[in-house]
Chain A
């Protein structure tokens, strides 16, 4: 059947594009993100409620409409985690003594309560569960936390090999991922691998909120799979082929809420007993009823979620307590609240950030903001002429800023600790901070030929270059977060360049 080949090619392309999105060059990532990410369920949904954009709404409608027509084909065609699992499943089948899948009972209680819990926590302003379970974000973390280091290490090893041949290339850097964050990704990756190897697409049918929600829609999809009991010889070939474990030949039923639309069963059946066709009104009446409650509940919850995701209502509901020392959030994230309520921790910004200043945190934003990234000024700084994180962010947590806007966006403010600074303590020149300040916020006052740094806070955008450059331990210049981003004043030099009209003189000053 051609449909299977189309699926394999499509999901293969999606997987490759996603890997390129996360590991490719900056330009490639930006161009891929513009058309790839609006067609991802959770990112498109969150982006639509935080900052509606035409393409995201189109993507969302596309996903819902295709599901209403064809069932959960999204899970087999467009989902990067789905593609990754299909690879794992195909791989593990080769090593199994008895290949093949078998029917399993749906874990309805777990999946619907997880969906309800995910929606409920999102409603009260925490995306932690969404971040943990969303397949796009999880795939992103797997790419950034595992695949990127592997790629970077191999690349840098290649550079070392080429060096004796006098071929020099710029080395690459991996993102800074703390052990606790890595542990979360490892646990989820292992869980997914285990489930894929032993139970097929069980992750998608139990843990994935997108899968569960689309499963509810699939109950009423126009096209569906049916098993004709009369012609069925109960050879269980279709059951063996079904990664989702949703075909039960005994009762001749196919659970459309768990079918991921891979079309493998159509190929498996030699008698064309399984048919993919338009739903006839009377056929689904009784097969559908057990999950009807779940569907109604789910759609009500989803609708409520859609409305309540609206920022105003959420602001009203939000319990996000302002921390004493909140982390700095990237330029374009407007304020801590906007950022934490829109970021699903996919780590795309972490992986594309050219200076690797964006670092995923474990709980720096509190329990309600698990894994969300911060500006890590102990490791790096924010490049002045860069606005790439806003360009790639799939959820609108970091809004795209023009370079001119970015250069004046205050995400933090530098504080000079004069009781630690070597110039004030020892009275000799240092100036490491001023050297790297891109906005002229650090000015030097000459007292007896010693240059003392002073900060003009109105120009400081909180990029952290000074903090990274400061040689003292502990640092004597520290950037504090601005929980609500502001606009910095533009610096105008008192000495402006003068066009020299005088003819060149011939004299030398010595």
Chain B
């Protein structure tokens, strides 16, 4: 038993030499982290959860724990941030993504060197007038502009049809060209109750970049939501669970005083859209398996909903 752990001299020398060569070469090439990466491949956590802070502070902490925005946004890249602005509601209703979070997110992209950051959502009931109401009431237009984000309202001409590889129900989708043409796509949904999908989180939020959303409703909402993720997964998902609308979603009441909102003050960050939906479902008080589209996406190997198998970093402020 002890013998097996012994090295013979030749092996030690050759291994030591090759390691030294690689280390030296890497150091000369200026990439010492290449070595570290080899030794610790899963340095970036699968999921980061931060709670008990304000949206801006929570995001800053979470992205720090995730290894910094530079992991996702490189110098000169164009970024699209996709919040949930689906309904003409004030932020207090919890039906739309927190504007302060969006502002911090855009700022963080620019700090990481982004050339341009676009903010876009194809609102539910997509008339120009309603889109304007949604963008303004949610506070996201103002917040984005304050951070030099380019707010893009809907129009009919900017969509291109794409094929969904492996889509069971959803074979094609008309996707907004901003998302098709950008370098980095950041999905920034809000966690809220949904009357016909139980919950609306990150995967459901992607219905706001396609034009043929009614096809989802018609052919099977849960399957289509899961299918679309086979086309393109966002490079980063940021789930806003600061104010969580617990009933009457997705729109919530128009009067914020009658909104059933819980201050969960939580923020989630992950590259894995299924994992982040699973974690958000738990925060809401549901099991991931209860939500059909999470279950389907897990089965279609889009991501992992078994939170126990993931490297999760949590932080309470």
Enumerate chain A interface residues (CB-CB to B < 8 A). 159-160, 166, 168-173, 354-356, 380-381, 383-385, 422, 426, 428-432, 434-438, 440, 442, 444, 449, 451, 465, 468-469, 471-472, 491-493, 495-497, 500, 504, 506-510
Complex CA gap A448/B279 in Å reads 23
Shortest CB-to-CB span from B62 to chain A, Å, is 13
Q: What B residues does A438 contact at CB under 8 A?
A: 251, 254
Give which listed residue, A465, A493, A508, contacts B247 with CB less than 8 A. Answer: A493
B157-171 vs A: 1/0 string, CB under 8 Å? 100000000000000
Q: Is the CB of A171 within 8 A of B282?
A: no
Give which listed residue, B125, B127, B221, B307, contacts A173 with CB less than 8 A. Answer: B127
Complex CA gap A111/B125 in Å reads 49
Residue of B nearest to A494 (CB): B247
B214-230 vs A: 1/0 string, CB under 8 Å? 11011011100000000
Q: Is the CB of B153 within 8 A of A169?
A: yes
Q: Is the CB of B128 within 8 A of A173?
A: yes
Give which listed residue, A383, A385, A426, A431, contacts B195 with CB less than 8 A. Answer: A431
Q: Is the CB of B261 within 8 A of A171?
A: no
Q: What B residues does A428 contact at CB under 8 A?
A: 220-222
Q: What A residues does B273 contact at CB under 8 A?
A: none
Q: Is the CB of A429 within 8 A of B52?
A: no
Q: What B residues does A504 contact at CB under 8 A?
A: 51-52, 265, 316
Complex CA gap A434/B197 in Å reads 11
Q: Is the CB of B153 within 8 A of A168?
A: yes
B250 contacts chain A at the CB level, 8 A cutoff:
yes
Given contacts A429-B222, A497-B261, contact A449 B292 (CB under 8 A): yes
Question: Which of B116, B215, B253 has the most C-beta atoms of chain A within 10 angstroms of its own C-beta?
Answer: B253
B49 contacts chain A at the CB level, 8 A cutoff:
yes
Q: Is the CB of A431 within 8 A of B129?
A: no
B131 contacts chain A at the CB level, 8 A cutoff:
yes
Q: Is the CB of A472 within 8 A of B218?
A: yes
Given contacts A429-B221, A429-B222, A436-B124, contact A493 B253 (CB under 8 A): yes
User: In the complex, which residues 274-311 of chain B have their Cβ closer than 8 Å to any Cβ of chain A?
Assistant: 279, 282-283, 290, 292, 307
Q: Is the CB of A431 within 8 A of B153?
A: no
Q: What B residues does A160 contact at CB under 8 A?
A: 157
Given contacts A431-B197, A438-B251, contact A170 B128 (CB under 8 A): yes
Given contacts A385-B254, A496-B260, A504-B51, contact A451 B195 (CB under 8 A): yes
B196 contacts chain A at the CB level, 8 A cutoff:
yes
Given contacts A385-B88, A471-B218, contact A172 B128 (CB under 8 A): yes
Complex CA gap A426/B169 in Å reads 14
Complex CA gap A444/B263 in Å reads 25
Q: What B residues does A507 contact at CB under 8 A?
A: 316
Q: What are the 6 A-B residue pairs with the smallest beta carbon separation, nearest first?
A: A431-B196, A471-B214, A354-B129, A471-B218, A509-B282, A506-B316
Q: Is the CB of B128 within 8 A of A493?
A: no
Besides A431-B221, A508-B49, 17 other CB < 8 A contacts? Answer: A168-B150, A168-B151, A168-B153, A170-B128, A383-B130, A383-B133, A428-B220, A431-B194, A434-B195, A435-B124, A436-B251, A438-B254, A444-B195, A493-B260, A497-B261, A506-B316, A507-B316
For this complex, into which size category does the number of interface residues on chain B fall?
35 or more
Q: Is the CB of B153 within 8 A of A435?
A: no
B73 contacts chain A at the CB level, 8 A cutoff:
no
B171-201 vs A: 1/0 string, CB under 8 Å? 0000000000000000000000011111000
Given contacts A355-B130, A429-B197, A431-B196, contact A510 B307 (CB under 8 A): yes
B43 contacts chain A at the CB level, 8 A cutoff:
no
Q: Is the CB of A493 within 8 A of B258?
A: yes
Q: What A residues does B221 contact at CB under 8 A?
A: 428-431
Complex CA gap A159/B155 in Å reads 10
Shortest CB-to-CB span from A456 to chain B, Å, is 13
Task: Offer 22 A-B interface pairs, CB within 8 angstroms, sorted by A.
Answer: A160-B157, A166-B116, A168-B150, A173-B127, A354-B129, A356-B127, A380-B127, A383-B133, A385-B133, A422-B217, A422-B218, A429-B196, A429-B222, A431-B195, A469-B125, A471-B215, A493-B248, A493-B253, A495-B247, A508-B51, A509-B282, A510-B307
Q: What A residues does B128 contact at CB under 8 A?
A: 170-173
B312 contacts chain A at the CB level, 8 A cutoff:
yes
Given contacts A429-B197, A469-B125, contact A440 B253 (CB under 8 A): yes
Question: Which of B125, B198, B220 has the most C-beta atoms of chain A within 10 angstroms of its own C-beta?
Answer: B125
Q: What B residues does A493 contact at CB under 8 A?
A: 247-248, 253, 258, 260
Give which listed residue, A170, A440, A492, A506, contacts B153 with CB less than 8 A. Answer: A170
Shortest CB-to-CB span from B159 to chain A, Å, is 14
B71 contacts chain A at the CB level, 8 A cutoff:
no
Residue of A nearest to B225 (CB): A429
Complex CA gap A426/B218 in Å reads 10
B102-127 vs A: 1/0 string, CB under 8 Å? 00000000000000100000001101
Give which listed residue, B88, B133, B196, B246, contacts A435 with CB less than 8 A. Answer: B196
Residue of A nearest to B218 (CB): A471
Q: Is the CB of B125 within 8 A of A440?
A: no
B21 contacts chain A at the CB level, 8 A cutoff:
no
B146 contacts chain A at the CB level, 8 A cutoff:
no
Q: What B residues does A432 contact at CB under 8 A?
A: 196, 214, 217
Give which listed residue, B52, B150, B263, contacts A506 with CB less than 8 A. Answer: B52
Q: Is the CB of A497 within 8 A of B155?
A: no
Q: Is the CB of B259 within 8 A of A435?
A: no
B60 contacts chain A at the CB level, 8 A cutoff:
no
Shortest CB-to-CB span from B67 to chain A, Å, is 20
Complex CA gap A169/B131 in Å reads 11
B61 contacts chain A at the CB level, 8 A cutoff:
no
Q: Is the CB of A429 within 8 A of B292?
A: yes
Given contacts A428-B222, A432-B214, contact A170 B196 (CB under 8 A): no
Shortest CB-to-CB span from B26 to chain A, Å, is 37
Q: Is the CB of A434 within 8 A of B196?
A: yes
Residue of A nearest to B52 (CB): A504
Shortest CB-to-CB span from B43 to chain A, Å, is 20
Given contacts A385-B88, A422-B218, A429-B197, contact A355 B129 (CB under 8 A): yes
Shortest CB-to-CB span from B154 to chain A, Å, is 8
Residue of A nearest to B308 (CB): A510
Shortest CB-to-CB span from B46 to chain A, Å, is 11
